Structure 1
Amino acid sequence: MHPTPAQPHQASHDREIESLAEFDEVVAEHGTLARFRVQAVDLTGRTPALLELDTTGSVFLGCTMEPEAAARVRSSGALVFPPVPGLPFDPYRGFVYTPDELYESLDRDYGATPDARAYSWFQRTKADGDVFASMLRAIHDDTVSDALDELLAGARVVGVMGGHALARGSAAYAGAARLGRELARAGFTVATGGGPGAMEAANLGAYAAPFDDAMLDQALELLAKTPSFRPSVTDWARAAFEVRERWPGGGESVGIPTWFYGHEPPNAFAAHIAKYFANAIREDGLLGRSNAGVVFLPGAAGTVQEIFDNATPNYYESRGDSTPMVLVDEEHWTRELPAWPLLRSLARGRRMESRITLVDQIESAAEALKRLCD
C-alpha cells in the first residue's frame, strides 16, 4: 500500500499533484504546471512559482493560494476550485483518512472530533435539497475513491464482513481478531467496513500481526473493559487509542465506513480509513476492491446484503475470475439466516461454484480462503 500523507507518494496518474513535496518535484523536474491537477495542497508558500509558471489547462482543486497567485493562474488558463469555508471536511482531499485525523480532539469528547462534526453536517444537509451540499458530498466521495485506488494499487485485498454488534470481550470478537491477524501475516491486506464489532476485531488483528501472539491477548483484555460504543463512543474510542499507544507501529489495514450510519463510529485500528457519505458507493467499493476474496462472519441484514452484492458479479463472471467467498458459522448461515443454501443454488453449475465454501469454525476461515485463492 502507498504511504500516508506524511510520506508523499508518486501519484498513480503522472499529472496529479497531491502534496507539497510532489508540487516541488514537478516544478523542479518539468518547470511547468500546464495540464497538471493539483489537489488540496496549501500553496500559500509557493506564490513566486505560481506567478511565473505556465498553468495552461491545469486544475487547482481546493488549493489555498494568495489572492495574487490565484488571480494569475486563472488569467493564465487554469481552472480554480477554491476551498469551501466552514466545512468539517475537505471535499477535495487527496488521501484517505487516518484514525488520528478523524478522532482529533477526542481528549475533549467524541462530539468535538472531525468525524462527529462531519456526521452532524451530513444530518443537517442530506434532506434539505441543496444542490451545493449534495455536490460537495459527491465530490468528497469521488476523491476518497481515487485516493483508495491509489492506496490499494497492487495489494491483495481480503474483505472481512460481519455485524457491528459483536462485543469486545466475547469469544467471537477474539476469533475475528485472530482471523485478521492470520490474514495479515499471510500477506493479505485486510479491509473491513471500518466500524465497530467484527469489523474492528479484524482491523485489530491486522494491527497485531507484527507483534508476538501475547500482544493480541493483552489487547483483547484491555478492550474488554469497554465492550461497546454504547453508551459512550468517547470511552470506546479512547480504549482503542490506549492499545495503539501501548503498542505503537502496528500492522496496516483498511476500513471503509460511512457517515450514512452515523451511530457506527469508525474504529481506530485501521491505519487507512476511506469514509463515505454515500453508503451505496461505500458498499460497492469495499466489495469491488476485495480482489483476493471475502470472509463473511455472522451478521444481520447488512451482512446478508453484502453476501449477495458480492455474489452477483461472481454469478455473471464468464472468464473464471470470480473472487473466493468464505461463509463462517454453519448454524447461522444455514438455519438462522439461511443465505448459504441460496448462494449454493445460485452457484450450481457456474464457475463460481468452486470458489465458495462454508466453514463452521472461524479458525478454519483463513486456510479455506487461501485454498480457494490457489
Structure 2
Amino acid sequence: MRRTHGRVVDVDSLDDLDSRLASGAMSLSGWHLRGLDLSDHGAALRSRDVAGALFLGCTLHPEDDESVRARGAIVFPAIPDVPVDTYRATLYTPAELFDDDLYPRSLDARVYAWSQRGSSRETALAQALHDHSIDLALEEWTRGRRLVGVMGGHAAARADSTYSAGARLGWMLSQTCTVATGGGPGAMEAVNLGGYLSTQPEEALAEALALLSAVPGFVPSIADWARAAFAVRARFPGGADSLGIPTWHYGHEPPNPFANAVAKYFRNAQREAVLLEVCRGGIAFLPGSGGTIQEIFQDACENYYADESSTAPMVLVGREYWTERYPAWPLLRALAKGRPMEAHVHLVDTVDEAAALMGGT
C-alpha cells in the first residue's frame, strides 16, 4: 500500500483498495481513487464514510455515483477518447512513452497526434487535468532531492563535442545531486545520459557515446534514434535517476530515453515555469539558441527579484559563444549589477568549471 504526504492516500489498484477495506478502514476521507472499475464495490462504498474522498476517472454504477456524491465525495468522471491518464499519480518512464518499437504507434506519438486534432472543451479539460496531475507527481518525486538544471540546444548531434561535454557535465553533477533538463534531444539528452551513467566509471561515457554516434540524431528516424538509446540502457542497466521535463507542444522533438523520470506536459508555458522552479540548486546553460536564451532570461528575472537567500546560481558555459555569437552574458551581467544575484552569475569556458561552481565533482 502506498501513502503520499499528509492525509492524502492514493489508491491506484483494486488490490490496494480491497486490502485497505479488509484491514478495517471505515473512512475514505483524503483518499484519491484513480481509474478504478468500482462496479462491484457498491456495497463496500455504501457502508463507508466517503466524505472528503476523490473519485478520479472511476467507473461507478449510476446509483453509487449519486450515493457517494450525496455523502460528500467528489467525483471527476473519465473523459472519453483520451489517450492519456488524466488523473495519473506518477511521472512517465521512457519505456512507457516508447511503448512500441515503431515510434508512430508509441504512446508519445499517439498523444501528440491526439493533441493536434483541434481544440474542444473536453480536450482542454483533459489536458489541464493531466498537467495538474503531473504537477502533483513531480512535487512528490522531487521531495528530498537537490536538483540542478542544465539547459541547452536540441540540435547537438551525438558525435558533437557539445554533446560529449553535456554528458560529462551530467555525470559530474550527478555525483552530488540530481540533474534536470528539458527532456528533449541534443544537449538535454546528453546531460540525462551523464546522469543515467553517473554510478558507472567515467569510461562508460566513452563507450556509450561510441554506441550512440551510429545514430547521431532523431532525423530521419526517431525509431532508430530511440533504439540506440535503449541499447545503451540495456548495456548499462539500472542507471541513476535524472529528470526530464519535455512538452507535447514541441511534438516533433521526442523525449530522450535517458531521464528515468519524465514530467511531460501539454502546455509549454507551464512546463518552462516548472522547469526553472524545481532547479533550486541552480542552472547551467550550455550553447543553444532561441529556447535556451529565453530560459536564461526567464531564470534571470526570477533571480533579479529574489533576495540573497533564494538566489540560485546561473552558469553560462562557453565564453566565446555567450559573448560573441549570442552575447547574452553582457546583458545578464549588466542586469545583475548591484543586485543580490550579482555574485551568483558566472561565465566559464568548460563544463568542469561549471560543475565545480554548482557542487559537482
Q: Report the TM-score range of the alignment, normalised by the length of the smaller protein.
A: over 0.9
In the alignment, the residues of structure 1 paired with residue 203 and residue 258 of structure 2 have an alpha-carbon distance, to the nearest angstrom, of 17
Aligned counterpart in structure 1 of residue 219 of structure 2, from 230, 238, 242: 230
Counterparts of 1:255-270 in structure 2, within 5 Å, are 255-270=244-259
CA 50–124 in structure 1, closer or farther in 2 if over 3 Å, else same: same
Distance 1:300 1:203 in 2: 20
Q: 1:118 aligns with which of 104, 111, 128?
A: 111
Please, what TM-score do these two structures have when normalized by structure 2? Answer: 0.93
Aligned to 2:304: 315
User: Do residues 11 (structure 1) and 23 (structure 2) align?
Assistant: no
Aligned mates of 1:43, 1:246 — CA distance in 2: 42
SS at match of 2:150: strand
The answer to whether the 8 A contact 1:15-1:36 is kept is yes
Counterpart of 2:103, as a letter, is: Y
2:153–2:287 Cα contact (<8 Å) kept: yes
Structure 2 residue ranges without an equivalent (≥5): none
Structure 1 range deviating more: 305-314 or 317-326: 317-326
Question: Residue 36 of structure 2 contacts residue 58 of structure 2 at CA under 8 Å; is this kept in 1?
Answer: yes
- CA gap of 1:25–1:148, structure 2 versus 1, over 3 A, is farther
- State the distance in 2 between where 1:46 and 1:160 align: 48
Note if contact 1:207-1:269 (Cα within 8 Å) is conserved in structure 2: yes
Q: What do the CA deviations read for 1:145-171 (whole angstroms, capped 9, x no partner)?
A: 111011101210001100000000112
Map residues 351-362 of structure 1 onto 2, 5 A cutoff.
Answer: 351-362=340-351
Instruction: For residues 26-52 of structure 1, give each alpha carbon's deviation from its aligned partner in whole angstroms, at most 9, with x where no partner exists.
Output: 543742113533334555675553343
Q: Which residue of 2 aligns with 1:4?
A: none
How many matched pairs? Answer: 358
**Contact conserved, 1:26 with 1:33, CA < 8 A, in 2?**
no
Per mean C-alpha deviation after superposition, the further-off stretch among 15-24 and 246-255 is 15-24
2:143 and 2:131 map into 1 onto residues whose CA distance is: 18
Per-residue deviation, residues 98-126 of structure 1 (Å, max 9, x unmatched): 11111111x2x10001100110111112x
In structure 1, the residue matched to 2:78 is 83
- Alignment partner of 1:185: what SS? coil
Residue 104 and residue 351 in structure 1: after superposition, are their counterparts in 2 closer, same or farther (change >3 A)?
A: same
Measure the CA separation in 1 of the matches of 2:284 and 2:109.
Answer: 29
Q: Which blocks of at least 5 consecutive residues in structure 1 are unaligned?
A: 1-7
Q: TM-score, normalised by structure 1?
A: 0.90
Q: Which residue identity is paired with 1:218? A: E
**What are the superposed Cα offsets for residues 54-82 of structure 1, whole Å, 9 maximum, x if unpaired?**
21232211134566654543454322222
Contact between 2:151 and 2:188, CA under 8 Å: does it hold in 1? yes
User: Given the alignment of the two structures, is residue 239 of structure 1 paired with residue 234 of structure 2, yes or no?
Assistant: no
CA contact (8 A) 2:91 2:262 kept: yes
Distance 1:45 1:311, change over 3 A: farther
Cα–Cα, structure 1 residues 165 and 18, in superposed 2: closer, same or farther, change >3 Å? Answer: farther
2:129 matches 1:133: no
Distance 1:34 1:14 in 2: 8
Q: Offset of 1:10 from its aligned partner?
A: 2.8
What's the C-alpha RMSD, in Å, of the aligned pairs?
2.0
Q: Contact conserved, 1:11 with 1:18, CA < 8 A, in 2?
A: no
The answer to whether the Cα contact below 8 Å between 2:318 and 2:348 also exists between their aligned partners in 1 is yes
Assess if the C-alpha contact under 8 Å between 1:38 and 1:60 holds in 2.
Answer: yes
Which residues of 2 match residues 290-301 of structure 1 at below 5 A? 290-301=279-290
Hey, what's the Cα distance between the residues in 1 that align with 2:18 and 2:289? 50
95-104 or 68-77: bigger deviation:
68-77
Percent identical among aligned pairs is 47
> Counterpart amino acid of 1:50?
L
> Partners in 2 of 1:48 and 1:218 — Cα distance?
59
Partner of 2:152: 162
Q: Displacement, 1:93?
A: 1.0
- Whether the 8 Å contact between 2:208 and 2:232 is mirrored in structure 1 is yes
Residue deviations 1:211-239, cap 9 Å, x none? Answer: 12222211111110000000111111111
Alignment match, 1:5: none
CA deviation after TM superposition for structure 1 residue 319, in Å: 4.3
